[in-house]
Chains A and B, each alone.
Chain A
Amino acid sequence: MKKREIIIIGIILLAAVGALVFMRLSSASQNQLYVKITVDGELYDTIPLTDDLDTEFTISTDLGENHVVIKNGTVDVDWADCANQVCVNTKSAEYLHDTIVCLPHKLIVEIVDGE
């Protein structure tokens, strides 16, 4: 591998890591965080994320079901009837821009700030 090629890979890695660090730093803002749930491009629900909120519910659509648990200021999808179980294996969302996706059910659970 030539030096130039290593440098290009290094720049790509640096950009990606930089974006991750930037995302985490910008999540340190004091704004109220919300759990935003989107199904098939349409807003399903927005829930203020607070440390003392303790709830769980099932999102049921034509495409399938996902079970969402919110507690201790984190959101998790702990059960779904989809084929690939990617959303279940995703670790719980806690910080701004953390996202849990279920592609088969066109479901997105993401953390946004107060806008």
Chain B
Amino acid sequence: MMNRKSPRYISTMAMLIAVALILAYVETLIPALPIPGAKIGLPNIVALLALLTLGFADALVILFVRAVVSSLLFTSVMSLAYSLAGGILSLVVMFLLTRMYKKEQIGFSVLFVSVMGAVAHSTGQVLVAMFVMSTASLLYYLPWLVVISVITGLFVGLVVYFVYRPFQRVLKSGAR
């Protein structure tokens, strides 16, 4: 755990938030997936990476700042509720799952964590949408989103699998 007042900690957080924002922006440029409203979830790469290297609290801070800023910049404020509900539920699920592993040895299991996080993300968003629109019929939408979540979750997990160790090294290099 880094000292929260150290420039190193502050710049690491700033960098991760910036990367998450860029990924959120890139995602708005990618044409829609076959399932309307579904996204790849590129910012989840940062969320999962932060969760593994910095811990739950810092990952939550990054998620919150990213969601607020990206909803102001790229989408509507309305979408913030969906984004946060999905993101927080996803982060909690991934946090609980990562506790089952020794983090250094998580290996390919990171794909499993990522998939479960993606499924939780979709489920959270559908639940909020059902609440906002006060209807249960959106539930019919969930199976489609779950199928696409498994695919996008595998992709995000694969990226994190390859980035995790190099990123860990960068974090540790020169750390006091």
Interface residues, chain A, with chain B CB atoms under 8 Å away: 1-2, 5-6, 8-9, 12-13, 15-17, 19-20, 23, 38, 40-41, 83-84, 86-87, 89-91, 97, 99, 101, 103-104, 106, 108, 110
B53 on interface, CB distance cutoff 8 Å: no
Residue in A1, A40, A41, A101 whose CB lies within 8 Å of B141? A101
A103→B143 contact, CB < 8 A:
no
Distance to closest chain B CB from A100 (angstroms) = 8
B65 on interface, CB distance cutoff 8 Å: no
**Known contacts A41-B133, A103-B132, A103-B133; is A9 also within 8 Å of B115 by CB?**
yes
**28 A-B pairs (CB sep. < 8 Å):** A1-B109, A1-B112, A5-B109, A5-B112, A8-B112, A8-B116, A9-B115, A9-B150, A12-B150, A16-B143, A16-B147, A16-B150, A38-B133, A40-B133, A40-B134, A41-B134, A41-B135, A84-B37, A84-B75, A86-B32, A97-B137, A99-B141, A101-B129, A101-B138, A103-B78, A104-B76, A108-B138, A110-B140
A20→B129 contact, CB < 8 A:
no
B143-172 interface (Cβ within 8 A of A): 143-144, 146-147, 150
B133→A106 contact, CB < 8 A:
yes
7 closest pairs, A vs B, by CB? Answer: A41-B134, A5-B112, A16-B146, A1-B108, A90-B36, A19-B143, A16-B143
Distance to closest chain B CB from A114 (angstroms) = 16
A2 to B119, CA, bound (A): 19
B46 on interface, CB distance cutoff 8 Å: no
Cβ of A8: which chain B residues have Cβ within 8 Å of it?
Answer: 112, 116
Cβ of A91: which chain B residues have Cβ within 8 Å of it?
Answer: 36
A110 to B140, CA, bound (A): 10
CB-nearest residue of chain A to B35: A90
Q: Given known contacts A12-B150, A38-B135, what 16 new A-B pairs fall within 8 Å (CB)?
A: A1-B107, A1-B109, A1-B111, A12-B146, A16-B150, A20-B143, A84-B76, A86-B37, A87-B36, A99-B141, A101-B138, A103-B79, A103-B133, A108-B138, A110-B137, A110-B140
Cβ of A23: which chain B residues have Cβ within 8 Å of it?
Answer: 140, 143
Cβ of A110: which chain B residues have Cβ within 8 Å of it?
Answer: 137, 140
